[in-house]
Structure 1
Amino acid sequence: MSDMSKVCMVFGAGSYYDESPVVPQGALVVAADGGYDHALALGIRPDVAIGDFDSISKTPVLHEDGDDPASGRVSTIALPAQKDETDMPQAVKVGWNQGIRVFHIFGGLGGRLDHALANLQMLADIARHGGIGFLHGDGCVATAVTDGEIRFPANQVAARRMVSVFAHSDRALGVTIRGLKYETDSVDWTNSHALGVSNEFLPGIPSSISVREGTLIVTYPVEAPQPQWRSGADQAASFGAIDDRRSELLSPLFRD
């Protein structure tokens, strides 16, 4: 059974810009590899550190039964460097395995473009599994919704602070946008054409973005209020096993 009131805070090795993450009381904090250094620099002690630890300055000290919580020790999950998935979805799996379905992810944008794209795909995967992820970076937040809706309360976000909507699935059917500068009414979108770039909040008006069938990626300014969400996707019991085996896809030159 998932606990929708609990969140998982994931810290990655990418850029953090000017946003100062706030950890809600009771949240699970997971560091993905070099995100361990970033979390400590922010004064945040992770509960779990996971990764191949190739981008970390100091390997976390393994938590042991009976340790004082103030000892600074954390649970550590070491992964091989040559694996099929990056460290970030492995961190999400840690939270998912504890019944959490809401993820706030920092350090997943900026730096390497390939990792940023992988993390956007991960948001869509979380949504298809019936959860939601919020990827923070450079003054904006990206999220995804499958067969559902996100709703923003009325706000006073300044003009020219953009809200953009993209189809992630091949087709996103029945996309409806209400309360933003540009509205749509049950329009079918494809992921080969960017139709929803550069929308805006309207002062003092609540807004919503929904899709009848398919997955949307939504980006919005970080100062916007936290949206409510609903998903028509079935909540999956598993987000997949932690990828702790060396990849079998390596070319023969690298197998030995």
Structure 2
Amino acid sequence: MQKTIYIVAGGPEAYIPKLENDQDVLWIGVDRGVYYLLQAGICPHIAFGDFDSVNEAEWAVINKQLTNINRYLPEKDETDMELALLWAVKQQPALIRIFGGTGGRLDHFLANVFLMARPSILSSLSCTIEMIDEKNIISILRPGTYTIEKIADKQYISFLPLSREIIDITLIGFKYPLKDQHVSRGSTLCMSNELIQSKGTFSFKEGILIMVRSMD
């Protein structure tokens, strides 16, 4: 049975939804995210990081409770999140969700978005990768047909081309429908749409798309 993997990174804690243990989830802690998990009563399966964002007392807690820690020097080529995500992808999970990847430093946030969309990751993974915070759900999508359900507290749905162009995007069941539209990177055509039914469908033939479901 494929596992669902949740990765908890060390972004500002105020942006992270309440974390609740689930036996069907494989938890990964990244740097300070390991401490967040332990504070929530969740012991991660594996941890990655240089742990330069925790103090000595917090590191002592982490080191005492975990045995599977991959600790690195701060001077390295990969970010802590990259190391964790590459490990997660190798497990061939059913779903990957990232928490603690937004807020705080914009360079970290943008790096995480581009990391989720790395061609080598997308080509070797059949599942969806999502990055979640208190107000947003960010998904990276490949060509195909998708059905989504209305989420009461995240009514706005935006589609942003990450590749140079999205070919033949079609939106059905949305306030602003589209039919076989070409959308170029930088276009705001597909910003702040909404479902007008309990479910909607969208599809596109070529490109890489970012879907953001948000609340005000």
* TM interval, short-chain normalised: 0.7 to 0.9
RMSD: 2.2
Secondary structure in 1 matching 2:187 = coil
C-alpha displacement at 1:203, in angstroms? 4.0
Q: Partner of 1:144 in structure 2?
A: 140
Q: Partner of 1:132 in structure 2?
A: 128
More moved, 92-101 vs 170-179? 92-101
- Alignment of 1:119 onto 2:112: yes
- The TM-score, its normalising length taken from structure 2, stands at 0.86
Residue 85 to residue 101, structure 1, CA distance change in 2 (3 Å): farther
- Equivalent residue runs for 1:148-167 within 5 Å: 148-153=144-149, 155=150, 157=152, 161-167=155-161
Pair member with larger Rg = 1
- Equivalent residue runs for 1:167-206 within 5 Å: 167-204=161-198, 206=199
Contact 1:140/1:219 (CA < 8 Å) preserved in 2?
A: yes
Q: Higher helix proportion, which one?
A: 2
C-alpha displacement at 1:101, in angstroms? 5.0
- The TM-score, its normalising length taken from structure 1, stands at 0.73
Residue 139 to residue 201, structure 1, CA distance change in 2 (3 Å): same
Deviation string 1:65-93 (CA, Å, 9 cap, x unpaired) is: xxxxxxx3231112231222211121112
Contact 1:176/1:209 (CA < 8 Å) preserved in 2?
A: yes
Residue 75 to residue 152, structure 1, CA distance change in 2 (3 Å): same
**Structure 2 counterpart of 1:146, one-letter code:** R
Secondary structure in 2 matching 1:193 = coil
- Alignment of 1:48 onto 2:50: no
Residue 201 to residue 15, structure 1, CA distance change in 2 (3 Å): farther
Q: Partner of 1:91 in structure 2?
A: 84
Task: Write the distance in 2 (CA, Å) between the matches of 1:191 and 1:80.
Answer: 37
Q: Partner of 1:212 in structure 2?
A: 205
Residue 170 to residue 156, structure 1, CA distance change in 2 (3 Å): closer
Q: What is the total number of aligned residue pairs between the two structures?
A: 207
Unmatched tracts of structure 1, length 5 or more: 63-71, 223-256
Task: Write the distance in 2 (CA, Å) between the matches of 1:109 and 1:40.
Answer: 20
Task: Write the distance in 2 (CA, Å) between the matches of 1:195 and 1:46.
Answer: 41
Contact 1:157/1:201 (CA < 8 Å) preserved in 2?
A: no
Contact 2:16/2:100 (CA < 8 Å) preserved in 1?
A: no
Task: Write the distance in 2 (CA, Å) between the matches of 1:85 and 1:149.
Answer: 33
Secondary structure in 2 matching 1:118 = helix
Secondary structure in 2 matching 1:166 = strand
Contact 2:174/2:197 (CA < 8 Å) preserved in 1?
A: no
Identity %: 27
Unmatched tracts of structure 2, length 5 or more: none
C-alpha displacement at 1:115, in angstroms? 0.7
**Structure 1 counterpart of 2:63, one-letter code:** V
